[in-house]
Structure formats: structure tokens, C-alpha cells
Structure 1
Amino acid sequence: MMTYRPISGMALLFLVVGAWVFPVYAQQIGTIKGIVLDMSTGKRIVGVLVHVQNTPASTITDKKGAFRLSKIPAGTYTLEFIKMGYRTLILPEQHVLAEKTTPVIAQLNASTGEKEDVFYIGEIRVEADEAKLPNDPVSKDVVKSGDIENLQASSLGDVLELIPGVEKTNRLGLGKKIQAGIRGRSQDALSTFGTKVILDDAPLSNNANFQGITNIFLGKNVSLTTGQGIDLRNIPADNIETVEVIKGVPSVRYGDFTEGIIKVETKIGKRQPRLTIKHNPDTKEINFGNGIVRWNTGLTYDLNYGYSERNLRKIGDEYHRFTGTLVTRKRFFGRKLTVKHKLFGQRLLDEEKPTDVHRNKRYNRGYTINNDLWGDYVINPLSKFTYSHYVHFRKQNTFAQRLVEADPRSYIGSMRVLGNEWNIGGRWEFHLMRLTGASVFHELIFGTDVEYDRNRGKGVIIDSTRNYYGPLSGKRSYNFDQIPGQTLVGLYAEDKITLHYLRDFTWTLGVRYDLFNPKSIHFPGLWTREPFIKSQQGTFLSPRVGLIVFLSKNSRLRFGYGLSAKSPPLTNVYRAPQVLAFRDITYRHSQKNPDLKGYQLKKLDVGIDAKFFNFARTSLEGYYTYRTGQMSQVKYPFGYVMNPDTITEATYSIYENRGWTRRYGMELSIQTITYKNISFLLNLTHRSEKMGRTGLFYYSHTDTAKGQRPWAPAGMSWRKKAILDVRLSYKARSLGIWVSVWMQSVVYEKFQQYTVNSFYWWENNSFSYPPKTIYNFAVSKSLWKGAEVSFYINNFFDDRNVYRHPYFHTYSERTSGIFYGFKLSTKL
């Protein structure tokens, strides 16, 4: 069935509604009109036979790839497109209305002539690699379920190892927190926080996470994600159908993000009951899934348990993940209305028990319950309505304990965080397809989305007499019920235009209006530059433009430019107060900034793609991003409000919009088709990053004899990195085997830091990391029908790349040692 997209303005909606209310009664015949494109090249195809099944109606596409079928009786038909050298395309449920024209865009896949384009190793779907050129201006990578299963991923975080340019430093498994910053660094909190993860059309938000409102340090293994992106370990990989990583300028339907989009679709529909067991020295995992269809209703469920024993020498250092998913799908009103409903439940136990004299005990326990409802309603062949609603709840239960050395005696300090995190929202879209002129197609979207984030509960509990942070610490208990929620509203419209003028090309023009915590209407905003709707965390207008030009049959040019905005995390807006105890007097200073604004990113993408001899595809893409107004922690001396000239070591901190980041880079990719069972992929990525802050910052420890000042400009930092990825795959149907070998080399990595008011001489110096290279290997082999076994080795040369820091003179391993694992999967 064809996919229809958005309407561009309310007037068009009124026309459609008017057509329903005031129908024109005429002869009950209509017209089918459209074009046929090559899916790989985007070029129009001449001489395609277009046939309306079960009728004598048929025609041939002209020299522009266009066709027209007139005098078709009103009804629902199936169209068939036949062309030598292409796979036959069937388009069902094409609705013809009386005295109306039904537009159709058909895309044909070229036939390779091979019989082994698709085969199965057990239940792993193996597809021949194709050197397809993109038909969309948006830069993105797509990972399918077959690649995921061959990799033996345990979570979405492992799946991202398949994305070129992602540095492979962690072992597969559940041992460590995994976050993603698209075209950024996973160590940069704002890059991970600005990367939006969407699971089955519902965003997984982290805006209301307050677990680390007091900057809890939970040690090496037990970790938090406050003010950062979500932990990708929480999404099991076994029921993932596809992962789409959008790196370029996306559609305006996506909001509240800056870096990029990770869009995940899970397996829904009929499938055989299946049991999967995975084992490696770090992680043990078992998964059972099934899908049935009864009475026009699809039912899919998955049960997953994952266990990680991170340190074999330490008792109690464990991570447990219990996950259950139940999805139903049903169609109503002659299959016009599709309703999908998902229940997701998860229990996490992240433990670290005390085993030394410091009595360090930490855990992160909690559970998640998600309720999602999404689908669409096909109004007619020209339009449809899509919707998505979600209610996500997460119970937070974090505990930390340690030995605090104090005078006159040491004590065991502890603290706890108890909260109930809510994310409630929805999205509603109207899609419309229009055909204007001879062959100009418009795919229009008009929509809105709303999200409400809130955290309730007892909050942070600290015993002030045995303070976890020390007897002189200013950190105190804090109740989450005192913190208001945050409402995010987005309005957007987009038009995707496909036409031919000297060359075939597609324009995408869209605009999005984001309101972060809207408060009031400001009418002067209609004729001034001030916002029409005032929002506490800011109002942002984000236009986006995309263009793809089909230069020839085997080449095209892509361009994208746009803006996007991200709301600040509530933990930055409502920080816990800072307390200063001096003798018998206690000073409490607020660290909240209720008017903290969101931040925005500008992105420019330019790429060129070419295909050589139907054997290999190459892409060269350059990008530039500029992130402004990002949150930055700013210190002030106690008493600053009364006297700005105050100088004291006692400080409090507030987040302000003072940071900025510039990034630019190049990506070169070469992909071959599967020839004689072998395919090859090469990707070279170069990234540069410059970060800084504006204004003056307070330094409490200053030495005026050395020329240091209490208020001075902030420093800046530069980073550069080049990564080479090479993948070789061997897929043989006759042997029932799939072998993959990956090589990744960080060719160079440089870092430089400059601080104006330097305390240490090394702060104004630069250093380079030595090159590092790792090799990974994975193989999947069929055992019997519906069963397969997989095995992998990571870093099989055991090169740990030991690095000595030039200034701290410490040693560290930049890569994990040799690691292996296997998987057994069979249908039941």
C-alpha cells in the first residue's frame, strides 16, 4: 500500500472536508495517474506495463515515465507494474473515486538475475548487499534484523556498533552504560541528551530524570543518565526489526532534539515461536518471542532476561534486566483504520555490594511500564490521518553508601533517591498527496505533538548528621513534589515536491514551531520579532530544507539545511539548593533557574553519490553544525546577589545558556554489491570539534601574585579524530553460512585545551593519542530448519592500546581485551 504524507495548511483540510459534506454526483468513473521510478536511481522508467488486475484496463508508461488510466469505475483495485529487468510490483488497495484522479508513485526494484538475493540461516534473514543510491536528501544509515542477529547484539547500544563512524571501544553485552551522540561524542552529555530515540513511534524521553540531582557518583559500574541521553542497554535487540539512524537534516515531524534521531521499529506480526540463548564471559541472555494472527488481530509478545557479572572476582557486582513486551494490531472499517497497542514492562537491578574497607555500596533499582497506542486511518487514496499516544512511567530507586573520613571519627554515610518519572504525550498528523500539472507530486504533512514530563516522589533523602558527601557538604534532602512539570508543544508543516525540470529532483520544504513550557499569548509577536506565544523555556522556529538532484542515472547531489531545538533537562532548571553551615549559622542559596532556555542547533549537509558499473556505490558527504545557547554550569560566590564584588571560596552554581559547540566533518563511503557471495564496505570519517563558553566565570581559588583573577573568560577545547571502518562479508546459501570481518582504525586523535585563568600548566597544552586498530569477527551457521548458531570474537589480536598520559603520567587501556561469545537460536 502506498504511503501518503501531510497536508500543507488548513485551507486544504477544509477542501477535503467540504468534499465529504457536499459531494458532487456525477458519472461513477475516475482516473488513475502517476509515474514509475527506478528505486535505485530515482530515474523515470519508460515502457512499464501498468495493469489493473481483474480488469482489461492497462497502459504503457511514456518517455517521462508517466501513465494515465481513464474511465475506471469507482472502486478499490490492485495495480501491477511489469518491466523486463525489474521485479514485478503489486500495489493493492488503490481507491478510485468518482470524477477524481488517484495519484500513484511506483518504485521498481531492478532484478539482479540471481536466485540468492534472499535466504535464511535458521531464522536469520540474509539479504544480498545492493549498491543502492539514496532517493532522499536526508543522510541516514539503516540496520536490519539480519545484521543485528549476526552481530549477536544484546541491546540497541550493541546495534550501533554496525553504524560506520561509531568508535568500537566497549565489549558487546550489558556490562556498561551505553549512550549515543550522533556525529558527536558519547562522553559529551549534551550530545547524548540531544540524540532522540524513538521506539515504535513513541519517544523515549529523559527530560524528567532527577536521579542525579545531587551529582551522585555511583562508581565504575553502577551509573546514571541524569541530564544525558537514555541508557541504550534498556532496549533488548532480539525483537528489533530495523534501526534507522538519521544523521542529516530530518523531517520537521521530529522535534525536541539537536544531534540526530535513532528510530527503532520492533517485530510485529506473525512469526514462529523462537527461543534464543546468548553467552559471553560478561553477559548471559535468554529471549522467547512469538507472533500469531487470530480473527483479524495480530498478537506479538517477547520475554527477555539479561544478566551481567561484570567483575568475576567481586561478589555482588551484577546487572539484571527483565523485559516483557506485548503488542496487538487490529484493522477496522474495511482495513481503513489500523490500531496498534503495546505494553512494555521492565525491571532493572544494577548492584554493587561492599567488598572492601570503604564499605562502598551502590544500587540502581527500578522498573518501567510503557503504554503505547499508534496507527493510521486511510481517508481516501489522497489522504490519511496518523496518530500516536504514549504514557511512560519509571520508578526510580537509587542508593549509595560509603565510608566518610571525618574528624573526630569516620562514619558510614548514605543517601537515597526515590521518584516517579512520568512522560505523557501524543502526535497527530494529516497526510495528503496531490498531483499538479503534468507530473508534479506533492506529499504534504500537517501535524502537532505534545509531551508532558514530570517527576514526583520523596526525592533525594540525605541524613544531614551523617552526610554522604561529607560533614561540611552543603547538599541536603530535596522533594520532587516541589518541582513543576514541563510541557512541550510542537506545530509543523511540510511539503515534499517531486518534479522534472531539466533534471529529476525532489524538494522538501518544512517549518516547525516548538514551544517549551508555553505560558501566554503575546499579540505584539504578530508584527514584531518577539514570539507570539511566550514559553518559559523558550519558543523556537525551525525551518528545514532538503534537496536531491538526480544528475544522471548513476549520480545525484544532496543538500540539507535546517534548525532544531532541545528543551533543557529539568535537573538543570531546578537544581537542589546549596547550604553553607558556618558555626551556628546556616545559609541556604537557591540554585534554580526557572527561566533557563532550551538550546538550538544549525546543521548544513552536502553530499554527492555515484554508482559505478552497477557494482559499487560511493558517497562523499560534508557537514557543519553550530550548537548555541547550550546549558553551562556557572559558579557564583555566596553573597554575590547583595555584593557582586564578593570573593569567597564558598560558591553556588546555576545553569545558564552560555555554551556553544562547532563541529564539521567529512564522511566517505564505498559499498559493493554481493558478488560471488562477497561484499565489501569502506567508510572513512573525519570529525573536528570546538567547544567554549561566553562571558566571565568565577574562580574561587585564585593567586593574584600569578596574575590570576577571580572573574575571567572561560577556556576552549579542540578535538580532531579520523576513523577508518572496513567490513568484509561472505554469504553463501549453499553452505548456510554468513561470515563478517570488521576492522576499525582510529587513524589519529588530537586534543587541545586552553584556559585563560590557568591553575595547572598542562591546561594550556595539547596532546595526541596514538593510532589504534581492532579486528572483530562474527559467523552464523544454520543447523537445521529454523535453527542456527552464531559465534563472534572481538579484538581477536588482543591489542589493548595502552596509553600513557603525557601530563598526568597515568596508564590506561583504550580498548577492551579479546572477547568472545556465542548464540543458539531455534524455533519451537
Structure 2
Amino acid sequence: MKKLYWSSFILFYTIAVAHAQSIYIRGKITDGNKKVLLGSTVIMDQLGFSSMSDGRGEYRLTIPKEQYGKLVTLSVSYIGKKKVERTVLLDSMQKIENFLLQDMSHALEEVGVQAKRGELSNSSLVFDREMIERYPALSLNDLLNRLPNRKNTAPSVQEMQNLTLRGAFSETTGRSRDANELNNSFGVAIIMDDMVLGNNGNMQGRNAGIFGMSSATNAIRPSDYGLTGRPTTGKFYSGENVFSGLDLRQIPIENIEHLEVISGVAPARYGDLSNGAVIIERQAGKTPAFFRLQVRSNATSYGLSKGMQLGKKLGTINVDLGYVQSYADNRDKLKQYDRVNGTLIWTNYFGADKRLKQTFSGSYNKVIDQVRKDPDDPLSNAISFGGRGWNAASRTSYKLDHKFLKSISLNAGISSTLQKTYREYYYNGAVVLYTDSVQTGIVEGQYAPGQYTALDHVDNRPLNLNARLEGNAIAITGDIIHKINFGSNYSYDINRGKGRIADPSIPKKDLGARSDRYYDFSLTNALQNLGLYAEDAMRTKVWGRDLSMRAGVRWDLMNGHSSISPRTNINYSLSKSTQIGLAYGLSFKSPGLAQLYPGPTFDEIILLNSYNGKVDESMALIYLRRYEKDNSNLKSSVRQTLESSFSWHKNGHQLRTNLFYKKNTRGINTVTADQLIDLPTYSATEVPGGKPIDRKS
């Protein structure tokens, strides 16, 4: 009996010592009605450890014993509830912390009226759900107008909406856009649910070789539509966004839970960017049903969302539907922008400890963007830019019970879009002289009637595939906590569109001495980008004050060219209310398909035109020059950033300032290249009843 007693004691002591290696925080999460909240998220900010509440509303966090005696911050969130943050002193190996979450309401005493400082960069700002609800918007752009240095205008979807960060540009006049503004917008990454919403595959526009990159959009003048007496502008309207960033009108805000905008140095995990990033997290979980209605002078918006628990083992599903209808002028309703969108997100946890998390999401949107023909004016103009698109994504993450490696994740996504431009031009003029040849040389011209309908017709179908494999680890060296993030990402962009549909026998009058041909987008090569990255987010105390440093590096292979991007953000607390920061980083933005493969241009010089009114008795000779720039080896644009920051907050007041040096190089633009060519001269000798005979001088 004594041997059995001592064996039991030794076994119990061993187990107790093993458990004593960790600190446990547990508790229950309820709402204002004392109902338990299943699926609440509890995060320890310092280490990034997280836990989900179960069917009893209970959670449990396991924390390394090295944190004993230290202060940690617990953040508790639940969709539709006000987020709670609490500082906890780890003065025992077992801590009980219960949380009460209130409903999100504008009637709460403290509602944020401005973006908060983010954690990913010294220059990042965060919009939480409370702020999003407080400022109703028709699109993501309306919400981002709350950023510093942006013009705060009334919500609208009547103009193209691209985001630029840290840049000043000349004002757009006519259809001509500033090339630097295009490059800035193209270099801002939009990341939704950890999936990049890129514009690399977009080729919807006119021939940049003819019109230049700045004017390569089909557009319509404000004076070409609408009632007289309406305030006009010198800026043309276009629904195309080739060479620039995403059209933010297509991103609704109704189901956005968290939004972070990085203007400066982004974390190393984010690549293929040169001017910042917008990181969006959408709602995924059980929520009450919400119906939102906005009625404005030129727009009406409807939104319906609901998050449902399918069962203890079936997870949750979140459904969001939206519709926006807008007219530039409700009196004539000629210029119209409508958007229909829907999103479905399914999330579930597997395993006894819910270590495996799986999320599937899918979205669909359709846009009607057009200027209709005025029924009272047969000579009025009309143009349409409408389209539709969908995307689907899978996100899988698994928590590990390992001393170093804490989680691994695999994300994969696909997106496809169909965008069409269509406009008709009616001409009643003299006979048309043209050639449909596609090779350089002197060719015989052809004649076509001068009464015809010319077209601007573009069929654009970009397709994107992307994936990310990632690991997260924790290490503690002395008083320094290391949150290590490493992984790889891959993207594949291609365009399957029919292209720019052109017929040289019915040319547009604005081509001058040039002509256009049918250009098939589906014949272009795919763009592939690969990246590897590693980053360490460190926290410690220096002279009793918090010091945080995020240092990382990424390697990218974009369009066959290799690049290295070191990045770091350092922040030090001078006091509880004052912080200073320093950041430096390099970033690279891959060229898009429209920049790599703009298509050929055709210059035409008439050498002989002997026309007597009868096609069978007429003759023409045309010198045709085909020029096709090989941009397939184009390198990525580069941004170098050095910045310092200062922030102060006290008693609800905040002051932030950033001083930065930003240098963009290898920006992409079009240039004119003149060429001197010696051409022969010709004369014609008429032949009665037949074609003239040409003679070379």
C-alpha cells in the first residue's frame, strides 16, 4: 500500500508541475440579457493568442508561464456587439475573467467619430463597425473619405471612385487623367478577407498606343447628356478603370466588420503594392437581421443581412444582400448607376478543442452603368459600361499545441469579371478610304460608304487565382516577445475577353491618321507573381516603457523579375499618452496585363487616291505601318518610404502627425516616338471603264 501511495503521489506531482508551466485565463461571455454568446472571439493582444466561446459561452486561453506577473490586454468581440478591451494582471496561474457585451447602438455614450490608430503600421488607421454604422455610405469610397487629407463629399456613385494615398496630382480635364495618379491608385492593394482584389487583369479601355495611357478610356462629356442648365464640369465621365486601381463603387460596406488603411510601410506579408493597402474583414458569424435603407437626393440604397447558427456541428452562415439605384438627375434619369450585390459566408470549427477553422465565402455583383439615349433628342449620345462578377474563397487554419509554431493556414481564392463597353457613333460624310491589312507595307486601299455607325466596343473578362500558405509562431527571449509570421503567396492573372472589337471599314473620326484593328485579349499571356516573406513583431520594455518593432522582409518574383523588400515599423511609448515612431520600407507593384500587352497601333499614309465616284473605276495606295511595342519584360514600379510619427491622446482627444519621405520610381506611362520614313510618290493614269494605272515617281 505504501508503494502504491508513493507512486500515486509522484504521478500527481508530475502532472501538477506540467500544468504549472502555463497560465490559464477562462471565463464566460454574455450579453445584456445574460444570454451566453456562442462564437465570441477573445484575443490576447500581446501574443495574438485567441479563443472562441462555446455553447455555454465559456472560453479558455493558455498563456506561457513567462508572462506571469505581467499586464496583458484581452479584446473580446462579437458581431453586432460593442468590442470590450480589458487589461489583466497575470498574478496567478488561474484567472477568471467574465465579459458582458452590449448591443452596438448609436445611443451608447461613447461612439467613435474618427478612425483609430492601427497595429499593422505606424501610419495605419482603423474603422471599426461602430464608426461604419455611424457614417452610412453607398460604397467603400464614401467611408474612406473620412481619411485625413481627403475631400469629404456627400455619398454618391455617379463618378469613378479610385483610391490614392499620399499623393497630389493635377486635376483631370476632359478624359485625360494624370499618369502619376493612375500609378498611385494602381499601387494601392485592396485585400478582403485576406484575398487580394486586384486590377492586374483588367484591359477594359481604348488603344493606349493611339490615345496614350492617360486618355485610354471611353468617356462621355457631361454636355452630351442631361438637361440644359445643369452645373457642368470639364471632366468627362468614364466607367472604365484600366491602368488604375479598383472601382470602389463595387464594394458595399454593409457587411464590413473591420477596415484598416495603411498609407505608409505595410507588413511584409502584403506584396504587389507600391502605395499602401486597404485591409477589409467582413462579418462572419451569428448576427441579428438588419435592414438598412438610405434615401438620398440622387440615390436609394437597400441592404439586408443576417447571420444564423446552423447547429452545434454545422457552423454559422452569414448572408448579405444589397441594391443601389442612382441617377445623376432624377428629372431625366438618363445617367444611371445600379448595383446589385450578394455575399454568403459559412464558418465552422472542427475538433474537440475547435482547433480547425474553415471558412467558405462567395460574392456576386452586377452593375448597370450607362447613359441612355434621350428619347426627345434623336442625335443624343449613349454609352454603357455595365458588367458582372463573382468571387469565391476558402480559408483554412489550424491551431497547434506546439512550443514555437502556433498555427498554420491555407487560403485560396478565385475571381472572375465580365465588363463591357459599348457606344455608337453615327456618321454621314464622304466615302471612307481604308485598309484591313495588318502588316507593314504599301497596300491597295478600299472604299466604303460614308454613312455608317462606328463602335467603341470592349469585351473584358479578367480572371484571377490566388493562394497563400502561412505559419504563425511565438517565441520569448528574455523580456522580448516575438510574434513571427512567415509564408508564401501566389497569384495568376489572365484575361479571357473577346477584346477591343474594331472594324477599319467603319472607323471613328477621332483616330486621325491612325486606324484600329480587332485585338483579342484572350491571346495575351498570363501574369504570374510569387512571393515569400517572414516578419517578427517584437514587444518589450525599455526604461520601463513599451517598445514595439515589426521587422520583416519579402522576396517577390513578379513578371519574371526578382525583388527584395525590407520593411520595419518601430514605435516607442514616451508615456501612457505619447508615442513616437520610425518606419522604413521598400515595396514593388507588378505591371498589369494592359501595360504588358497594350496591342498594336496602325499608322496610315495615303500615297495615292484616285476616286471618281465609282468604286470599280477608282484606286488608292496606302502606306501602313504596324507598331507593336514589346512590353512583356516590363519591371515592377518601386516605392521607397522613410517616415517618423508622433501621437498623443488624453481624455478623448487625439493628435497624430506623420513626417514622411516617399520616392516612387519606374512608374509606367506612354511616350511618343517619332520615326522618319522615306516613302515613294505615285500618280494615276485613268483608264476608261476600269481602274486607274498607278505609276511610281
TM beyond 0.5: yes
Choose the corresponding residue for 1:30, options 15, 18, 21.
Answer: 18
Q: Which residues of 2 match residues 274-353 of structure 1 at below 5 A? A: 274-296=290-312, 297-334=315-352, 335-353=354-372
Distance in 2 (alpha carbons) for counterparts of 1:33 and 1:184: 52
Which amino acid in the other structure matches residue 593 of structure 1? N
Residues 499 and 521, structure 2, Cα contact 8 Å, conserved in 1 = yes
Aligned to 2:382: 361
Q: CA deviation at 1:317?
A: 1.9
Choose the corresponding residue for 1:203, options 196, 206, 215.
Answer: 196
Structure 1, residues 590-632: CA drift from partner, whole Å, max 9, x if none?
Answer: 13311111111001110122344x4533222211100011112
Structure 1, residues 197-256: CA drift from partner, whole Å, max 9, x if none?
Answer: 111111110011011142242214442100100000001121111221111212100110
Aligned to 2:495: 455
Distance 1:125 1:587, change over 3 A: farther
Structure 1, residues 674-715: CA drift from partner, whole Å, max 9, x if none?
Answer: xxxxxxxxxxxxxxxxxxxxxxxxxxxxxxxxxxxxxxxxxx
Distance 1:407 1:52, change over 3 A: closer
Choose the corresponding residue for 1:152, options 121, 127, 136.
Answer: 136
Q: Which residues of 2 match residues 817-828 of structure 1 at below 5 A? A: none
Aligned to 1:504: 546
TM-score under structure 2 length normalisation: 0.72
Q: Which residues of 2 match residues 667-682 of structure 1 at below 5 A? A: none
Q: CA deviation at 1:129?
A: 6.7
Residues 118 and 260, structure 2, Cα contact 8 Å, conserved in 1 = no
1:600 and 2:638 are equivalent in the alignment: yes
Aligned to 1:107: 73
Aligned to 1:417: 458
Distance 1:354 1:80, change over 3 A: closer
Distance in 2 (alpha carbons) for counterparts of 1:276 and 1:481: 41
Distance in 1 (alpha carbons) for counterparts of 2:24 and 2:60: 14
Which amino acid in the other structure matches residue 310 of structure 1? A
1:140 and 2:177 are equivalent in the alignment: no
Which amino acid in the other structure matches residue 30 of structure 1? A
Distance 1:404 1:148, change over 3 A: farther
Distance in 2 (alpha carbons) for counterparts of 1:511 and 1:272: 42
Aligned to 1:625: 662
Which amino acid in the other structure matches residue 444 of structure 1? I
Q: Which residues of 2 match residues 803-818 of structure 1 at below 5 A? A: none
Structure 1, residues 580-599: CA drift from partner, whole Å, max 9, x if none?
Answer: 22232322111331111111
Structure 1, residues 557-588: CA drift from partner, whole Å, max 9, x if none?
Answer: 11100000000121111112111222323221
Aligned to 1:649: none
Distance in 1 (alpha carbons) for counterparts of 2:400 and 2:386: 46
Distance in 2 (alpha carbons) for counterparts of 1:507 and 1:321: 43
Aligned to 1:635: 672
Residues 268 and 567, structure 2, Cα contact 8 Å, conserved in 1 = yes
Distance 1:586 1:141, change over 3 A: same
Distance in 2 (alpha carbons) for counterparts of 1:363 and 1:134: 40
Choose the corresponding residue for 2:628, options 574, 579, 590.
Answer: 590
Choose the corresponding residue for 2:486, options 442, 446, 457.
Answer: 446
Distance in 1 (alpha carbons) for counterparts of 2:536 and 2:587: 18
Structure 1, residues 468-520: CA drift from partner, whole Å, max 9, x if none?
Answer: 34574322210012210100111101112212333431222210111112xxx
Distance 1:226 1:51, change over 3 A: closer
TM-score under structure 1 length normalisation: 0.61
Choose the corresponding residue for 1:559, options 582, 588, 604.
Answer: 582
Distance in 1 (alpha carbons) for counterparts of 2:168 and 2:398: 40
Structure 1, residues 119-149: CA drift from partner, whole Å, max 9, x if none?
Answer: 6447999636799877665211111223223
Distance 1:185 1:171, change over 3 A: farther
Structure 1, residues 276-301: CA drift from partner, whole Å, max 9, x if none?
Answer: 22111211111111110122311000
Q: CA deviation at 1:80?
A: 11
Distance in 2 (alpha carbons) for counterparts of 1:415 and 1:485: 25
Distance 1:553 1:222, change over 3 A: closer
Distance in 1 (alpha carbons) for counterparts of 2:554 and 2:320: 36
Distance 1:444 1:31, change over 3 A: farther
Distance in 2 (alpha carbons) for counterparts of 1:562 and 1:349: 40
Aligned to 1:716: none
Aligned to 1:687: none
Aligned to 1:516: 558
Structure 2 residues not aligned, in runs of 5+: 1-13, 28-41, 46-52, 75-84, 88-99, 170-177, 208-215, 221-235, 432-449, 607-620, 680-697
1:251 and 2:252 are equivalent in the alignment: no
Distance 1:472 1:377, change over 3 A: same
Distance 1:475 1:32, change over 3 A: farther
Between structures 1 and 2, the one with greater strand share:
1
Distance 1:79 1:388, change over 3 A: closer
Aligned to 1:184: 167
Q: CA deviation at 1:96?
A: 7.6
Aligned to 2:80: none
Distance 1:484 1:203, change over 3 A: same
Aligned to 1:701: none
Aligned residue-pair number = 545
Distance in 2 (alpha carbons) for counterparts of 1:445 and 1:120: 33
Choose the corresponding residue for 1:380, options 392, 401, 407.
Answer: 401
Q: Give % identity.
A: 24
Q: CA deviation at 1:51?
A: 6.8
Residues 124 and 150, structure 1, Cα contact 8 Å, conserved in 2 = no
Once structures 1 and 2 are overlaid, which stretch shifts more, 401-410 or 186-195?
Answer: 401-410
Choose the corresponding residue for 2:288, options 260, 272, 283.
Answer: 272
Distance 1:124 1:303, change over 3 A: farther
2:242 aligns to what SS in structure 1? coil
Distance in 2 (alpha carbons) for counterparts of 1:259 and 1:190: 9
Residues 524 and 597, structure 2, Cα contact 8 Å, conserved in 1 = yes
Aligned to 1:393: 416
Distance in 1 (alpha carbons) for counterparts of 2:645 and 2:635: 33
Which amino acid in the other structure matches residue 642 of structure 2? L
Residues 420 and 457, structure 1, Cα contact 8 Å, conserved in 2 = yes
Q: CA deviation at 1:91?
A: 10
Distance in 2 (alpha carbons) for counterparts of 1:79 and 1:242: 15
Residues 31 and 101, structure 1, Cα contact 8 Å, conserved in 2 = no
Structure 1, residues 434-459: CA drift from partner, whole Å, max 9, x if none?
Answer: 1122x211111111000000001321
Which amino acid in the other structure matches residue 164 of structure 1? P
Q: CA deviation at 1:182?
A: 1.3
Q: CA deviation at 1:433?
A: 0.3
Distance in 1 (alpha carbons) for counterparts of 2:130 and 2:109: 5
Q: CA deviation at 1:369?
A: 1.0
Residues 467 and 473, structure 1, Cα contact 8 Å, conserved in 2 = no
Distance in 1 (alpha carbons) for counterparts of 2:115 and 2:639: 32
Distance 1:105 1:455, change over 3 A: farther
1:164 and 2:185 are equivalent in the alignment: no
Distance 1:619 1:301, change over 3 A: same
Distance 1:462 1:432, change over 3 A: same
2:585 aligns to what SS in structure 1? strand
2:583 aligns to what SS in structure 1? strand
Q: Look at both structures and tell me which one has the larger radius of gyration over its CA atoms.
A: 2
Which amino acid in the other structure matches residue 379 of structure 1? L
2:628 aligns to what SS in structure 1? strand
Which amino acid in the other structure matches residue 171 of structure 1? A
